[in-house]
Amino acid sequence: MHVRRLVSLIGFTLACGLPSAALMAREGVEVGKESAFAKLVPAAEVEQSAFQQYSQMLKQAADKNALGPADHPQVLRLRQIAKELIPHSYEWNPRARDWKWEVNLIGSNQVNAFCMPGGKIAFYSGILKQLELTDDEVAMVMGHEIAHALREHARERMGKSAATNGLATIGSTVASVFFGVNPNLTDFVARQGANLITLKFSRDDETEADLVGMELAARAGYDPRAGVTLWQKMSAANKGAPPQWLSTHPSGNSRIEEIQANLPKVLPLYQRAKDNK
């Protein structure tokens, strides 16, 4: 009798949707909502600007014979890791499913990597060689950079700049919906595009990218604990002038502590993915 009542109660609550939030609790890290500022700038405009900047960068690298060929072992390695991470990005940003993802290697001593809006990824050979990154650590770097694109941090910063410059107002935003994009805003995005590669993000953006990137890597079967060893290597490399990748990212024990605090949320995802490989 008690069992029947319990089953009936569970069935009733499920039908009513009362405990749905608890039963459907999402596994993984917790981050805030996307910034409203990002919506002030059209995503398509930002992604087009990124595509143009990325294409120009690749051409310049190719002209200097610094663009890694498709059959280069490190290019193959990077593209395989990206192939495993990308499917887990769609939950974070539906647009990512339609992005024309690219992964390229630039021959340079710079300790740097980035992912521009629209899924345009680049690694400099310096970050792979100087830090002797394992696949798990590469996945953490790549996941972090992909997270910036997924969470549209560049678009958010453009939105804030546009608002500050008076280009994005309620009136112009509403008008753009009905009559097209504000041409002044389009020109502004184009000008900002030149800064996408070297764009610096806020501390909150960096923390968010750490966490989301760690989850992406874990879901793809890469050990999220590599985030700790990665930042230990980065800190060790920070002698004199910091590496470019480190100079635009907050570092220190607090960053490692944040990663360690969130490991329990993603280790089960990693273990499950690893078992299914």
Report pLDDT digits (tens) over 200-230: 777 888 889 999 999 999 999 999 999 999 9
Residues with Cβ within 8 Å of 13's Cβ and at least 6 positions away in sequence, in order, are 19
* pLDDT greater at residue 154 or residue 132: 132
pLDDT at residue number 58: 96
Residues with Cβ within 8 Å of 155's Cβ and at least 6 positions away in sequence, in order, are 38, 41, 43, 46, 117
* pLDDT greater at residue 23 or residue 81: 81
Which residues are the active-site residues? 145
**d(C-alpha 196, C-alpha 121), whole Å:** 12
pLDDT at residue number 199: 64
- Regarding pTM above 0.85, the answer is no
Report pLDDT digits (tens) over 161-195: 766 665 444 334 433 333 334 444 445 444 554 46
Domain layout of the chain by residue ranges: 32-276
pLDDT over 90 percentage in the chain = 52
Average pLDDT over residues 225-242: 81
198 pLDDT band, cuts 50/70/90, is low
pLDDT at residue number 227: 95
